[in-house]
Structure 1
């Protein structure tokens, strides 16, 4: 399948071309080459429908049994009830600790990046209908890992259509270090200024995906997301890995 980058654009542009999906069990050198060039690769076929059903089941259990008792590692929407982000899932459920350590993901990360990964954390995100945008940012600006061997295996838990606020990805932006995050949104989340983004000349693509697809994402890659204008949430699971022997510095 053609994995050439899409034409350049900016966050303010209309819909960008979708990032092409590659087979999880296809040639590993094709996956590695796409990742080295772009800083991200969309991988299809690693998670089965049964895998997704079990993940959803375990997430539902976490929300009903554990979240009501937490004073940390959970963030709600404005209604105070709907979970927007659930952090550090591996701390609370053996299932997510085992999933994070699974060779299915660690082997993929190693074959694509070239470095040996160790589990870091597991997080759940749900982009609700008619919620906020995610402004352009780099995750490496908030979690400092040396050497910079830090990736997300970002799993789509449902189909992601263009109206659901898919990821917007600036291909190759990870190769230029961390840009200044000198703006804050209404939730005090730091992001790149419009002036910085307007100066980019990187190809831009959208993360349209099928349920079970994953984005293997260099955390230094600039990314964002537009509003979810559909009637359905956009749920996802982020499995984070850093290099064996790397050092994590608290931000």
Structure 2
């Protein structure tokens, strides 16, 4: 799985939901209802996703944030399938994608209504101020975390229930999570992660290592 996962950095790859298979190793429901996500280069290889990712709206957004050479470093279509959609434990996106200085921003586009019932996002407001808690490191043995996961009180989190078409911006260090989707309604979302490739060093310990440099949205000299 590691090799398939690592190669997905520059491919369109498919990943099953953890709960999609029964004890016999067979899918418990149709394949189209068993896929957890597609990633991680939709923004480069699929013309529909590329048109959105490189749109003027996205470029203008990052220009307003002061990014000099922003690039989409990964894209994911998350299905959050009915009844089996994976839980996302509390985490920070910068745990998995790190630059120095930090520059990661996530864009979370609701393609369907996201509610508490079908697994909407939950965030701890202001948690990005405290910085990065832990990192996932890639080395010759695969990937591992540099420390144990922190524990959080659920009372700290607030739900982000949003309508279809809502764009949520997530600081790379914001702590967020989502519960498993036990409802009969899916919760599709498109996620883009962007970093500044000007003045920010890409970590050689990130799981995502490209053979070619990502195409920037724009470049301010």
Aligned to 1:197: 152
Shift of 1:227: 2.2
Q: How do 1:232-247 and structure 2 match up within 5 A? A: 232-245=185-198, 246-247=200-201
CA distance in 1, matches of 2:76, 2:148: 23
Shift of 1:197: 1.4
Which segments of 5 or more consecutive residues in structure 2 lack a partner in the other structure? 1-10, 22-26, 137-142, 207-221
CA distance in 2, matches of 1:91, 1:101: 9
CA distance in 2, matches of 1:106, 1:192: 36
Aligned to 1:20: none
Aligned to 2:133: 179
Residue 15 of structure 2 is aligned to residue 75 of structure 1: yes
Residue 58 of structure 2 is aligned to residue 105 of structure 1: yes
CA distance in 2, matches of 1:227, 1:192: 22
Distance 1:119 1:134, change over 3 A: closer
Distance 1:170 1:241, change over 3 A: same
Shift of 1:189: 9.2
Aligned to 2:36: 84
Deviations 1:50-90 (A, max 9, x none): xxxxxxxxxxxxxxxxxxxxx97221123463221111212
Distance 1:180 1:119, change over 3 A: closer
CA distance in 2, matches of 1:215, 1:189: 29
> What SS is found at the alignment partner of 1:162?
coil
The Cα RMSD (Å) is 2.9
Shift of 1:192: 6.6
> What SS is found at the alignment partner of 2:74?
strand
In the superposition, the TM-score normalised over structure 2's length comes to 0.68
In the superposition, the TM-score normalised over structure 1's length comes to 0.60
Aligned to 2:67: 115
CA distance in 2, matches of 1:189, 1:219: 19
Q: How do 1:145-224 and structure 2 match up within 5 A? A: 145-180=99-134, 193=149, 196-198=151-153, 203-224=156-177
> What SS is found at the alignment partner of 1:221?
coil
Q: How do 1:29-48 and structure 2 match up within 5 A? A: none
Aligned to 1:230: 183
> What SS is found at the alignment partner of 1:90?
helix
Shift of 1:142: 1.0
Runs of 4+ in 1 over 6 A off after TM superposition: 188-192
CA contact (8 A) 1:136 1:192 kept: no
> What SS is found at the alignment partner of 1:242?
strand
